[in-house]
Each structure stands twice: as structure tokens, then as C-alpha cells.
Amino acid sequence: MWEALFVRMLKQLIRHGTLDLQLPSGRKERFGDGDGSVVIAQITDPGLPRRFMINPELTIGEAYMEGTLNIDNDDLHSFIALGIRNMSVGRGHGLERFFGPFLRYVSQYNPMGRARSNVAHHYDLSGALYDLFLDEDKQYSCAYFRHPDDTLEQAQIQKKAHIAQKLCLEPGMRVLDIGCGWGGMAITLAKDYGVHVVGVTLSEEQHKVARARVDAAGLNEQIDIRLTDYRALDGKFDRVVSVGMFEHVGVPHYREYFSHVSDRLTDNGIALIHTIGRESPPGRTSPWVLKYIFPGGYVPSLSEVSKAIEKEGLWTTDVEVWQLHYAETLKHWYTRFMANIDKARQIYDDRFCRMWRFYLISAELTFRLHRQVVFQFQLTRKQGVVPLTRDYIYQGDEKQHWRAAE
């Protein structure tokens, strides 16, 4: 019965492209309109059709991880691309559609204690894993590709320089880095711009590595890396920067977040918030991503962020949209990860590597095929703090790029 219902559901879902699927019973079915290259797959778990009816995205990801979903030539790119093009990712399916609003709120509720455990799930993985695919500065966020042939290292340097230009930094300023990661942004701003940085993270692994890097760079007098929640801070800062952290805040906490940003800024202060965003109405996070990759994570729509900013009285002085930069970043990460996959298996196991492949590929294809971008919000407490035109963002940007690369 479940297999027949499963086939019927897939025929409704897969309207574009072609999927040849062998079912646990040995039955073979073709789905789609016959266009494009044929994706050939086999499922071996008799319980999968029933689970798919309840939660398709979670089930497919788990089946690939467990090896009960096998794809010819292990062509995961084509399989996931077929799914993204056909599945109504924003609406959900089965019981999730009925309970969606409640589940969405619960999954994004991130008070201090829960936020710390959510961060630990992903960022306290072995540091050796991230060394396998990140750039030398351990930038785990979208790079900025000025040219198609930029290396990952070049693009990450350009990302930091672009953000620094928007912050209008002057030597001696105090900067708060919310979600400082392994310390790369803090080190760059202190070393190349002469500012003092307080960086905060909830990851014990990142805190340990960042402090060691600051010490090795001889910047202890300029950089203070703290293992704490941004909500526990007080004091004033000339600048606030946050790169790749806002995705972990959750909609129920957006006003709280921007209230703290406002409170931390001086009257003439500037904040730059860099986050993944969706070019579509508010949606929800894939249940597979919530369970295995980013518990509590959510990619916001522009309307959700803007509403919270407005209600906290901040001025939005610049909004920039990066289109395919993150897709290119993830492509670089995936290539590096696959080149080092044997080392990754030594750190974890094959199931973990299959999970990580599914994560990196699905993330890249979401940026390419499913209206996902990067937003940069420049914010101030009052008018007149930043120049009236955007020319200043690019003046000296290229010069800073090469200075930082030396």
C-alpha cells in the first residue's frame, strides 16, 4: 500500500526532468516529463515510502546518508537539482504542512542556553574537518568573487575588504564582532585597519582557535575574543560587524537582536550585518538541515529583517544583494572536501562524509536554483553618518585587497 501511495505522490511532485527509480519491491518507475538527462536511483529500504509520505526532505537526506538511497554514478548533484526544481520546498508536505507554523516557531526559538547547544552541534566539530575545505583564514561564510577565476583565498580577502570599506573604519575605533568564528575578521580589522576588536562566539572550539591565532599574530592588545552570547554584553562600540551569524538568530529573536545592535552602537556608530537571505516570502528551514546541520537555523526573507530593523529605530543606510557568490564559495568548498574525503573518513566515518556531501551540494544548488542570496545590511542610529553616495565603498577597495594579500 505504502509503495503505491509513494509512487502516486512522486508522480504529482516530479513534473520536470526525468527520474528512473527502482523501488524496494524491485518495481521500476519513471517520473517526470522525459526532458534532460535521466537520473537513475534505487531505494532498498521498504520503510522509506511510508516515511517519505510524512516528511520527504528529511527522509531523502537520511536515506542517502544511510546508503539506502543509491544514485547511479553517485550523481548527487543531478538528483538534488531534480528535487529542488520540482519540490515545493517553501510549503512543506504531509503532517509538516499542518503543524508548520508551530514547528517553525519552536525550531527558531533560541534563548541563550539553547543557542549555545545549537552552535556546538555544528561549530564544535573537529577543527581538522574545517581545515580540509576552508581557506587559510578559515572563513566559513560567503566569499566575494570579483572575477570568475579568483581563488577561494582571493575571494575571502575581497569579502573582508569590502565589509571593512562599508564600516568606514578609523584607527583606534572599538569594533564588536558578533559571531567571530575562528577570528579571521577580527585579526584582519585589527592588523590592517588599526582598530580594537571584541569578538564573541558560542563555540568552544572556535574560541580556542581564535584566541591562539590572536596570540600568534601578536594582537592580544587589540583583540579580545570572548566565549559568550552577544546578549550578555554591555558597553558601546564605534562599529558592529556580524558575518554569517544572523542565520542562527531565529525570527522570534530578530527584534531582540537589533535592539542589542542599537544599544551597542555609539551615536555615530555603523553596523554591517552579512547574512544568507531568501528572495521570496518567509518560509521554513529544511527539516534535514535542522536535524543534522544547523539546529535552530533559518534563512530570512528581506521583509522579515526589514520589519525588525524598522521597529528598533535603526536607519538602513545600505542594502546589498550578492547573487551567486555563495554558490561559487560552496563549489570551492565541495571540490576541496572531495579532494580530502579520505582524510575526512579518518576523522569521522563514511556516513558523516555522505551527510557532508549532501549538505554542501544541496546548499550550493539552493543558491543556484531556489532564490537564495546573501544580504548585507548597513545600519546606523541616525542620518548623516555614512557618505551620501556609495562611491566610498569601492574607493581603495582594490588597494586594500592587494595590501591584505601581501
Tens of pLDDT, residue by residue over 211-270, are 999 999 999 999 999 999 999 999 999 999 999 999 999 999 999 999 999 999 999 999
Strand duo 223-227 + 265-278: pairing: unpaired
Judged against a pLDDT cut of 80, whether residue 123 lies above it is answered with: no
pLDDT of residue 124: 76
Cβ neighbours around 148 below 10 Å, total: 6
Beta bridge partners of 32: 18
pLDDT of residue 2: 86
Judged against a pLDDT cut of 50, whether residue 119 lies above it is answered with: yes
Domain ranges of the chain: 2-87, 112-405
CB burial readout 157-184, b (16+ within 10 A) else e: bbbbbbbbbbbbbeeebbbbbbbbbbbb
Where residue 113 falls among pLDDT bands split at 50, 70, 90?
low
CATH 3.30.210.10 fits 112-405, yes or no: no
pLDDT of residue 334: 98
- The region of weakest confidence among 105-114, 127-136, 294-303, 354-363 is 105-114
Do the Cβ atoms of 163 and 274 come closer than 8 Å?
A: yes
pLDDT of residue 59: 95
Amino acid identity for residue 68 in this structure: T
pLDDT of residue 93: 46
Where residue 109 falls among pLDDT bands split at 50, 70, 90?
low
Judged against a pLDDT cut of 90, whether residue 369 lies above it is answered with: yes
Cβ neighbours around 236 below 10 Å, total: 12
Where residue 87 falls among pLDDT bands split at 50, 70, 90?
confident
Rounded CA gap, 3 and 401, in Å? 56
Where residue 405 falls among pLDDT bands split at 50, 70, 90?
very low
Where residue 100 falls among pLDDT bands split at 50, 70, 90?
very low
- For 389, the grid coordinates are 553616495
Judged against a pLDDT cut of 90, whether residue 358 lies above it is answered with: yes
pLDDT of residue 126: 86
pLDDT of residue 107: 54
Judged against a pLDDT cut of 70, whether residue 89 lies above it is answered with: no
pLDDT of residue 115: 64
DSSP conformational letter for 38: E
| Average pLDDT of the chain to the nearest whole number | 90
- For 327, the grid coordinates are 554558490
Do the Cβ atoms of 314 and 302 come closer than 8 Å?
A: no
Where residue 320 falls among pLDDT bands split at 50, 70, 90?
very high
Q: Which of 291, 295, 207 lies closest to 247, judged by CA?
A: 295
State what percent of residues in the chain have pLDDT above 90. Answer: 80
- The region of weakest confidence among 119-123, 201-205, 340-344 is 119-123
Q: What is the mean pLDDT of residues 312-322?
A: 97
CATH code of the domain made up of 2-87: 3.30.1050
pLDDT of residue 296: 87
pLDDT of residue 88: 53
Residue with the bigger pLDDT between 160 and 95: it is 160
pLDDT of residue 342: 97
pLDDT tens figures, 30-65? 999 988 899 999 999 999 999 998 889 999 999 999
Rounded to the nearest 10 degrees, how much is the dihedral formed by the CA atoms of 374, 249, 152, 333?
Answer: -110
- The length of the chain is 406
